[in-house]
Amino acid sequence: MASSKPILEVKNLKKWFPVRSGFFSFFGEQRYVKAVDDVSFEVPEGGSICIVGESGCGKTTLARTILRLVEPTGGEVYFEGENIYDKTRGELAELRLQMQLIFQNPFEVLDPRLTIETLVGEGLHIHNLEEDPQVVRERVFKALEAVRLVPARNFASRYTHELSGGQLQRVAIARSLIFEPKLVIADEPVSMLDASIRTEVMNLMTDLQKDFGHTYIFITHDLAQARYIGDFCIVMYLGRIAEMGPMETVILDPIHPYTKALVSNIPVPDPTEQRDRIFLEGETPTPIDLPEGCRFKPRCQAYSDTYCKPEEPNLIEVSPGHWVACYAP
């Protein structure tokens, strides 16, 4: 059960990447890719927040900036009341033990030359948390058993090419669990898996949260997955938050036109159910040359000169905990 106390606070976070356009750009104005632009939200301890949106909306950059894997352009991030960006390199290394990231593709993060036992336990050696080989082995076995790779002893002696994609993602989860973190950021952890085992991995993650009390930030482009695993939803578009609120409120009563389009395209299991699907026309604007005012304006079917303004809309609380950045009524 999530508490009201925030374990993570993100305040006005920005990450702009400078664009290099050749020699003559030296005489012009510096341009930026505004991957994350003035994002603020809180994560309650023990909660599950899902960040959703199309590819290129800034979800992964937001996660990497929160963990300070890339340095921010502006803003602040507080973990248990401490500003991450004020930490020295040594202090940050200790803090990161409490904040772990599960990557999208386990094939890219697991060294095929090492055994599963070495891959799961190497973090304990890197951070000098445990020197006794027997204790390390016991912790590795415990982590493998937690992600349901049993018998752990058999899996520990294998190499990555001997495991399936779903098993490798469980190994990646075990690498994070071995530190007993408080916050886990999962960057589309099931998108590389077969549809038949996605639910198994998501069920595993929810069970682990119940057993160990993790706080999740779950990044996905699939609203159906978000609804399955999360209790709070943040919808991003071109580096900014378009809408956020309790999961069921956002899914059942979306207000932003972009959220409505995403929700209308969620597959439903009943083939007889009739629903109006909203297809967004045009291409997503480049984050280098953003449209004036609302970033969604070029694709918005609800746009009107009568109520839309030339300024970029800010998030407004339309109901308790439900925030929307839109001028449309």
Q: How do residues 4-32 score in pLDDT, each as one tens digit?
A: 689 999 999 999 998 876 654 555 677 88
Burial of residue 5, with CB atoms counted within 10 A of its CB: 0-12 exposed, 13-18 middle, 19 or more buried: exposed
Is-cis flag, bond preceding 181, omega within 30?
A: no
Q: Which two tokens stand for residue 134?
A: 């027997």
Q: How far apart are CA 181 and CA 202, in angstroms?
A: 18
What pLDDT, on a 0 to 100 scale, did the predictor assign at position 244?
A: 96
Q: Is the pTM of this model over 0.95?
A: no
Other residues' Cβ atoms within 10 Å of the Cβ of residue 136:
20
Residue 160 pLDDT grade (very low, low, confident, very high; cuts 50, 70, 90): very high
For the chain, the distance separating the N- and C-terminal CA atoms, rounded to the nearest angstrom, is 34
Q: How far apart are CA 15 and CA 28, in angstroms?
A: 21
Query: What domains does the chain contain, in order, with CATH numbers?
Result: 6-113+159-324 (3.40.50.300)
Q: How far apart are CA 139 and CA 120, in angstroms?
A: 9
User: 256 near 325, Cβ under 8 Å?
Assistant: yes
Which of 123-137, 165-179, 206-220 is predicted least confidently? 123-137
Q: Is residue 120's pLDDT more than 60?
A: yes
Q: Which two tokens stand for residue 317?
A: 């609380």
Which DSSP state fits 14?
E
State the average pLDDT over residues 190-200: 84
Q: Is residue 119's pLDDT more than 50?
A: yes
What's the pLDDT tens digit per position in 235-261? 999 999 999 999 999 999 999 999 999
What pLDDT, on a 0 to 100 scale, did the predictor assign at position 1?
A: 44
Alpha carbons within 13 angstroms on the beta-carbon side of residue 188 total: 16
Residue among 290, 294, 287 at smallest CA distance from 314: 294
What pLDDT, on a 0 to 100 scale, did the predictor assign at position 25?
A: 56
State the average pLDDT over residues 22-47: 81
Residue 292 pLDDT grade (very low, low, confident, very high; cuts 50, 70, 90): confident
Q: Is residue 274's pLDDT more than 50?
A: yes
The backbone region for 256, taken as left when phi is positive above 0, alpha when psi lies in -120 to 50, beta otherwise, is: beta
Give the type of residue at 287. P
State the average pLDDT over residues 136-155: 93
State the average pLDDT over residues 52-60: 90
State the average pLDDT over residues 208-223: 91
Averaged pLDDT of the chain: 88
CA distances in angstroms from 231 to 141, 157, 222, 251, listed in the order given = 31, 38, 15, 11
- Over pLDDT 90: what percentage of the chain? 55
What's the pLDDT tens digit per position in 77-112? 999 999 999 999 888 888 888 999 998 888 888 999
User: 77 near 85, Cβ under 8 Å?
Assistant: yes
State the average pLDDT over residues 140-151: 94
SS3 readout for 85-115: HHCCHHHHHHHHHHEEEECCCHHHHCCCCCE
DSSP string for residues in 17-32: EEPP--GGGGGS---E
